[in-house]
Structure 1
Amino acid sequence: MNALKILTQGIVQGVGFRPYVYRLASELGLKGYVRNLGNVVEIIIEGENTDLFVDRLPKELPPIAKINSMEVESIDESNFTDFEIIESGDSYSGISVIPPDIAICDKCLEEIRNPNDRRYKYAFNACTDCGPRFTVIESVPYDRIRTSMDEFPLCDDCLVEYREPLNRRYHGEAICCSDCGPQMEIYEGLTKIDTENPIRLGAEKLKEGNILAIKGIGGTHLVVDAYNDEAVKELRKRLNRPNQAFAVMCKDLESLQKYAELTQKEIDTITSNKRPIVILKKKDNYPFPDSLSPGLHNIGVMLPYSPMHYLLFDEGDIDTYVMTSANIPGEPMMIKNEEIINGVNDYSLVHNRQILNRCDDSVIRFRNNELSFIRRSRGYTPEPYTINYDVNDLNVLALGPELDVTFSIAKDNIVYPSQHIGNTNKPKTLNFLREAITNMERITKINEFDVIACDLHPHFFTTRLAHELAEKYGADVMPIQHHHAHSVALANDSAIEEMIVIAADGVGFGSDATSWGGEILYTDIKNFERLGHLEPQLMPGGDVATKYPARMLASILKDENLIKNYSSYFKYGDMEIKNIFKQIDAGINVGITTSTGRVLDSMAVALEICHERTYEGECSMKLESAAYYSTNDLEIPAIIEGNMLNTTEILREVVRLYQNGEKKADVAAAGQRAVANGLSKLAVKASENKNIENIGATGGVFYNEAITNTVKNHVESNGFNFIQHKNTCAGDGSVSLGQAIIAKKV
């Protein structure tokens, strides 16, 4: 007989992989065992059909499982009497990963809706094909004792299922029922309400117009009736979020299709077992109040993904709820019952299972029918990326920029990106970053680092943290330019070594110590070269001009009389305008920027679309939405001067057309196209000079579909390949990935 030892790496823990191996081995009459072994699964088999086992193993996997590598070696026979799942070991530290949290499967959903099933209306139903993973795990190997489910010993009925090889709950570490698992409770303020059905009561309170906090799988949502304008406005008031769009959760796809447009790819994504928020275009019969996503032509929507979500819809008669993260803007989501109950909400629907790893909802947008992550988190984290280049053997911890931060851990040719962390200029979020790094070290079993990569900006909190962690680990600090990191994350997506990249966003600290954000870069992964950029503009007041972009418009137009038409956008009117021009002339507290974001924000002011940023990207997003309704193709020339796009002339033409009576939407569309065409011309010129066929687009500006399409069409019409993000974030969420790859390549 043959005897083999097989080591499998990939998503092979917590996904029903060991039960699958057991069933396959038993079917083929093989003896031996399977066990979790650190970060891999070890299989020992002996018998006549070992070759058939090796052939079938990767082809018939459970829904969530994924094998990245499989080592097979012959061993001496041990004369096993049967095949079994044995106790986990901890003696191997290969590359593997715990799967992300997965939406409830159809079988579990059917059970909670079946009055004759013992899990009827149970809010924590799960099996090996679905349910929480990343958010409940403390360390590997993935067994119940190393998860937050350890506090809930299995009852006799669940234990029978757990031990039955043909049951889909066989060795399902998150399984439970109402007799042995977590329980829901509801509070009004600080007072617990005695009720047999907390979820039904929560649905009733939402119908009455109240704000309800719901502690879920990886965090907490604040929930209101999406149709209730008064409730939506009250939620805005309490959160101090006057304008930022709220995401919603819709009961089902059929209800969603009544008010949003969906392509087949969007349908496939929003209904997948990852259940992200997908940004969708509103239909003309959009039924919700303007307060839900003010000034925007689109809305972020997700479908239910946990049992408690489905039960909330089942117990009420509302088909769409606002579901926004329960946190102070810029801070981490609430996960502790005490802080949730003390929040801004009227009622709190909480439970007694610990959330060990916060994980916000993922957000996806499609541009020219291609997926791009705005936020890669629940449903995807901590699934790793592969580095598509030859790399060194250093272990790298990359900390990202400062806003919209993720961090990444790299070992060999694998990068583990974290969940969404947020804005680390907030102390609580910086602490969350520290905690998440510690948690990821335990899960990946990578806790020694040779390099700590960080942003080039010397004053970012993440840069300071890099130096602190370098002392802890005895590692080197490697500062990496922001847009270089963006570019490499994009290049790795398509395994391209050399490319010309258009990097367009709000801000990134440049090699010349000015603020970049409209750049044409060459990169060969290790290095980069700046080949073009937008016209440098002065920022009177520095970051103040970001919050109040009328200041940027004044600086770009360089015409005091012209800017007086916008005096109402300045707190102190004409007097403030005079002082701004004096400030510019004197060069006092005046930064320099090539940011595309600042140009687009200024355009929004010039067209009286938005004059104050109350959330990240607000003015540019509202400009895009205004342009979406354009019906006339106005043209604004993109004037190239050497290796620079003249943005002053673009803004002056925007103002001239608008003051001459052209429609706001048409001028907005023309202004966007001019910037996109200018960046494209610079990129094509650089590609011709370097003889490089691939031109990529990265940075937050490329969430704008119209700008992305304009650049794509220009690049391809000139015979070059257009590369855009497909599996990574166009925005700052991918910076840590790029940093990690650069540190592994140098």
Structure 2
Amino acid sequence: MKARKVLTQGIVQGVGFRPYVYRLASDLNLKGYVRNLGNVVEIIIEGENTELFIERLPNELPPIAKIDSMIIEDIEAEAYSNFEIIESGDAYSGISVIPPDIAICDKCLEEIRNPNDRRYKYPFNACTDCGPRFTVIESVPYDRVRTTMDEFPLCDECLVEYRQPLNRRYHGEAICCNDCGPQMAFYEGQNKIDCENPIKMGAEVLEKGKILAIKGIGGTHLVVDAYNDEAIKELRSRLNRPNQAFAVMSKDLESVQNYAQTSKKEIRTITSNKRPIVILKKNDNYPFPESLSPGLHNIGVMLPYSPMHYLLFDESDIDTYVMTSANTPGEPMMIKNEDIINGINDYSLIHNRRILNRCDDSVIRFRNNELSFIRRSRGYTPEPYKINYEVNELNVLALGPELDVTFSIAKDDIVYPSQHIGNTNKPKTLEFLKEAIENMQRITKIHDFDMIACDMHPHFFTTRLAHELAEKHDAEVMPVQHHHAHSVALANDSTIDEMIAIAADGVGYGSDGTSWGGEILYTDVKSFERMGHLESQLMPGGDMATKYPARMLASILKDEDLIKNYSNHFKYGEMEIKNIFKQIESGINVGKTSSTGRVLDSMAVALEICDKRTYEGECSMKLESCAYYSTKDIEIQYHIENNILNTTDILRQVVELYQNGEKKADVARAGQIAVAKGLSELAIIAAENKKIENIGATGGVLYNESITDTVKNYIENNGYEFIQHKNTCAGDGSVSLGQAIISKKK
């Protein structure tokens, strides 16, 4: 009798994989067993159809499951009497992963809307095809006892479902019902309100224009009626978030298409079981107040992904709500009930299931019809990346930069990226980072590190943490240049060994000690060479020039009389302008930067679009939105000398065109295109020098669709292959991935 052992690695736990194996083995009349074994699923099969089983196994998987590798070996037959699903073991520590949190499936949705179903209107309905995973798991193997669902013993009816191999709830660790599962509660301020239907109460206060906090799967949202201008402005006031766009959730795709443009790819993404926020362009029928997404041509949109979201819409006539993370800017989301009911909200919808791993909403934007992550988190984390190069044997922890941080853990040729962490210059977020690392270590069973990778910036909190953790693990610290990490994450995404990378963003610590951000790099993954860059400009006041970009405009134009025309964009008018030029002359508290972001911000001031940054990327984003409405082609010349793009000249042309009466939108578009073409030309010069055919583009500036389109077209029209992010973030969310790959490169 033939007997085989099959070890499967990938997304094979918590996704109905074992019941699937049971059904397949039974169909082929095979004997043996299947079980979770640490970070892998072990299958023993005996019978005549073992080869057919191995052939069919990867091709008929459940919706969420994914096999990355199968190790198959012949073994001695034990003459099993049947095929069984047996209890988990913990003897193997191979590479595998828990699936991310998945949106409610159609069958579970149908149940909560069916008055005759025992789970009617139950807000925690789930099965093996949907529901929370990453946010509730403590360690592997993925069994209920190692999740926060362990606090809710199954009732008799749920237990029957849980034990039936052919039931879709078989070993669905998040399953429950109203008799045995988590419960919701409604609070007004700190006072609990007794009611039969807390979600209905929530819908009623939202209709009255109140601010409601809703504790969900991986965190908490602050919610208001998206049509209510007064409620939105009140939310902004309480959050101290005056301008940053709020994301919205609409009840269905039809509602979304009433106010936003949608491509086929955007529709597939927004309706997928991952349910990210997708940045969509507003259409001509856009009905919401300007306060929702001020100064922008687009809006972040998501569809319901949990039972409680659907139930909220079912209880309301409102088809779209603001859904923004319940946290102060830069800090982690609230997940504890005590914090939520003491928050800035009027009312709270909370529940008694612990959130072990907070996980913010993912954010995606399409540029030239290609997907790019702005934030890769819920629905995707902790699904790993594969390193497409020869690797060393080191276990690596990579900590990312300081803002928009993710971390990554690498073992063998696999990298586990974390959920979105945030800005680690905030103490609470730094603590969240430390907790999240410990949680990921438990899940991956990677307890020790040989190397801690970090940014080159000596004063980042993540850099300091790297040295602390290196001492704890007796590990080496590996500083990695910011834009090199960006470009390597991009290269790995497309399996490119060497490339020329355009790295354009707000700031990254350069190897010369200045701020970079408009770079042309040659990289062969392990090393890099700076081949060109934007003109280095002075930053009077350092970070003050980032927050108040009129200071940056003054420095770039180098013309005090010209800048006096913009005196109303300086807090202290002409007196401040005088002091800025004195500061530049003295060189006191004046940094240097080649940042593309600072050039675009200055352009926004020059066109009187935005003169103060209240959130990351605000001025550049508003510049892009202004340019989106351009109706006339204007050309701005750009000049390159010694592999440096002259940005002073570009800004002077912008000012001249604007003062000569050209429309803001037309000049904004022309200015962006000039910068994009200049960067592209620099990259082509470098590619010719290195005899390389691949040119990539990375960094936060590349979220700008017009700039990305211009770069792509310019590079391809000159005969080069253009590489852009597909499965990774163009922004700082991919830096830790790049750091990990560089550290693992053999």
Find the aligned partners of 1:611 and 1:46 in 2 and give their Cα distance: 72
How far does residue 569 in structure 1 lie from its aligned partner after superposition?
Answer: 1.3
Amino acid at match of 2:335: I
Amino acid at match of 1:59: N
How far does residue 70 in structure 1 lie from its aligned partner after superposition?
Answer: 0.5
User: Is the aligned partner of 1:678 residue 2:683?
Assistant: no
Corresponding residue of 2:343: 343
Deviations 1:182-241 (A, max 9, x none): 000010000000000000010000000000000000000000000000000000000000
Amino acid at match of 1:325: S
How far does residue 572 in structure 1 lie from its aligned partner after superposition?
Answer: 1.1
**RMSD of aligned residue pairs (Cα, Å):** 0.5
Q: Secondary structure at the match of 1:15?
A: coil
Q: Secondary structure at the match of 1:260?
A: coil
Amino acid at match of 2:118: R
Corresponding residue of 1:301: 301
Amino acid at match of 1:36: N
Corresponding residue of 2:566: 566
Taking the TM superposition and a 5 Å limit, the aligned residue runs for 1:35-434 are: 35-434=35-434
User: Is the aligned partner of 1:516 residue 2:516?
Assistant: yes
Find the aligned partners of 2:339 and 2:109 in 1 and give their Cα distance: 30
Q: Secondary structure at the match of 1:142?
A: coil
How far does residue 26 in structure 1 lie from its aligned partner after superposition?
Answer: 1.3
Q: Secondary structure at the match of 2:377?
A: coil
Unaligned runs of 5+ in 2: none
Corresponding residue of 1:541: 541
Corresponding residue of 1:728: 728
Find the aligned partners of 1:572 and 1:221 in 2 and give their Cα distance: 39
Q: Greater CA deviation, 73-82 or 533-542?
A: 73-82
How far does residue 638 in structure 1 lie from its aligned partner after superposition?
Answer: 1.1
Taking the TM superposition and a 5 Å limit, the aligned residue runs for 1:574-589 are: 574-589=574-589
User: Is the aligned partner of 1:618 residue 2:618?
Assistant: yes
Q: Greater CA deviation, 67-76 or 287-296?
A: 67-76
Q: Secondary structure at the match of 1:179?
A: coil
Deviations 1:439-485 (A, max 9, x none): 00000000111100000000000000000000000000000000000
How far does residue 27 in structure 1 lie from its aligned partner after superposition?
Answer: 1.5
Amino acid at match of 1:352: N
Deviations 1:275-295 (A, max 9, x none): 000000000110000000000
Find the aligned partners of 1:452 and 1:164 in 2 and give their Cα distance: 45
Find the aligned partners of 1:508 and 1:716 in 2 and give their Cα distance: 27
Q: Greater CA deviation, 43-52 or 143-152?
A: 43-52
Q: Secondary structure at the match of 1:73?
A: strand
Taking the TM superposition and a 5 Å limit, the aligned residue runs for 1:390-539 are: 390-539=390-539
Find the aligned partners of 1:114 and 1:188 in 2 and give their Cα distance: 30
Corresponding residue of 1:29: 29
How far does residue 570 in structure 1 lie from its aligned partner after superposition?
Answer: 1.1
Find the aligned partners of 1:485 and 1:572 in 2 and give their Cα distance: 40
How far does residue 83 in structure 1 lie from its aligned partner after superposition?
Answer: 1.1
Corresponding residue of 1:690: 690
Find the aligned partners of 1:196 and 1:572 in 2 and give their Cα distance: 58
How far does residue 394 in structure 1 lie from its aligned partner after superposition?
Answer: 0.6
Find the aligned partners of 2:532 and 2:35 in 1 and give their Cα distance: 55
Find the aligned partners of 1:165 and 1:88 in 2 and give their Cα distance: 15
Deviations 1:610-666 (A, max 9, x none): 000000000000000000000001000011111000000000000000000000000
Taking the TM superposition and a 5 Å limit, the aligned residue runs for 1:626-637 are: 626-637=626-637
Find the aligned partners of 1:617 and 1:545 in 2 and give their Cα distance: 13
How far does residue 80 in structure 1 lie from its aligned partner after superposition?
Answer: 1.1
User: Is the aligned partner of 1:710 residue 2:714?
Assistant: no
Q: Greater CA deviation, 679-688 or 73-82?
A: 73-82
Q: Secondary structure at the match of 2:624?
A: helix
Q: Secondary structure at the match of 2:192?
A: strand
Deviations 1:311-353 (A, max 9, x none): 0000111000000000011000000000000000000000000
Amino acid at match of 1:209: G
Deviations 1:351-382 (A, max 9, x none): 00000000000000000000000000000000
Q: Secondary structure at the match of 1:261?
A: coil
How far does residue 30 in structure 1 lie from its aligned partner after superposition?
Answer: 1.2
Find the aligned partners of 1:299 and 1:572 in 2 and give their Cα distance: 34
Find the aligned partners of 2:682 and 2:571 in 1 and give their Cα distance: 38
Q: Secondary structure at the match of 1:409?
A: strand
Find the aligned partners of 2:270 and 2:572 in 1 and give their Cα distance: 47
Unaligned runs of 5+ in 1: none
Find the aligned partners of 1:557 and 1:429 in 2 and give their Cα distance: 38
Corresponding residue of 2:743: 743
Find the aligned partners of 1:564 and 1:230 in 2 and give their Cα distance: 37
Find the aligned partners of 2:442 and 2:553 in 1 and give their Cα distance: 49
How far does residue 554 in structure 1 lie from its aligned partner after superposition?
Answer: 0.3
Find the aligned partners of 1:654 and 1:309 in 2 and give their Cα distance: 47
Corresponding residue of 2:640: 640
Find the aligned partners of 1:503 and 1:638 in 2 and give their Cα distance: 19
Corresponding residue of 1:654: 654
Find the aligned partners of 2:422 and 2:520 in 1 and give their Cα distance: 27
Find the aligned partners of 2:304 and 2:426 in 1 and give their Cα distance: 30
Deviations 1:246-297 (A, max 9, x none): 0000000011111100000000000000000000000011000000000000
Find the aligned partners of 1:678 and 1:248 in 2 and give their Cα distance: 36
Find the aligned partners of 1:616 and 1:642 in 2 and give their Cα distance: 32
How far does residue 48 in structure 1 lie from its aligned partner after superposition?
Answer: 1.6
Q: How many residue pairs are counted as aligned between the two chains? A: 746
Find the aligned partners of 2:430 and 2:255 in 1 and give their Cα distance: 39
Find the aligned partners of 1:218 and 1:184 in 2 and give their Cα distance: 15
Find the aligned partners of 2:459 and 2:735 in 1 and give their Cα distance: 17
Amino acid at match of 1:524: D
Find the aligned partners of 1:180 and 1:118 in 2 and give their Cα distance: 12
Q: Secondary structure at the match of 2:23?
A: helix
Find the aligned partners of 1:115 and 1:587 in 2 and give their Cα distance: 73
Find the aligned partners of 2:25 and 2:156 in 1 and give their Cα distance: 27
4+ residue runs of structure 1 moved beyond 3 angstroms? Answer: none
Q: Secondary structure at the match of 1:713?
A: helix
Find the aligned partners of 2:739 and 2:317 in 1 and give their Cα distance: 48
